Amino acid sequence: MRYRRLSYRYAMVIHSSQTWPLGVWQGDRLRLLVQPRWRPDADTYETATTVEILVDLAGVEEDDLEVQLFEDVLIVEGRRQLPSCQEGAVYHAAGIHQGPFRVELPLPAPVDAERVEARYDRGLLRITLPKRAEAG
């Protein structure tokens, strides 16, 4: 798992040469654009001293994920590649997302980036972000 701390706020930037993520008008019809990434389930909760984040990443190798901490958001991204089925097999259901993923989690309080702890166990990424001490 790679961890990067970034000392600026996060903002989504769309350049004029890019298409909008949700769709664009094209002629007489609306063309929906499919995002190449899926979003894993995640929980964020706050205690008196920490912000806790839990991300469901079953089947993801620890080396295939990256955590980025901005001042106001935590981003977890990576790739899940599951083993392929046997040759000649026929799928009857395919509900497990594969390929690149990304989840952006806004932080409800300022955190101390120097004391962040992350654990990856049994497919769950648990990140503990201690709250920044208030200047008093």
Tell me the pLDDT tens digit for each residue of 70-82.
Answer: 999 999 999 999 8
- The structural domain count of the chain equals 1
- Please tell me the predicted confidence (pLDDT) of residue 80: 95
- Pull the structure tokens for residue 9: 């706020």
Gap between the Cα atoms of 96 and 75, Å rounded: 21
Q: Which helix (H) or strand (E) holds 56?
A: strand 50-56
Q: Is residue 20 part of a domain?
A: no
- Please tell me the predicted confidence (pLDDT) of residue 91: 84
Q: Is residue 90 part of a domain?
A: no
Q: Is residue 14 part of a domain?
A: no
Burial of 104 (0-12, 13-18, 19+ CB in 10 A): middle
Q: Is residue 115 part of a domain?
A: yes
pTM: 0.74
Percent of the chain with pLDDT over 70: 77
Q: CATH number for the domain including 123?
A: 2.60.40.790
Range of the domain at 65: 2-7+37-81+95-130
Q: Is residue 65 part of a domain?
A: yes
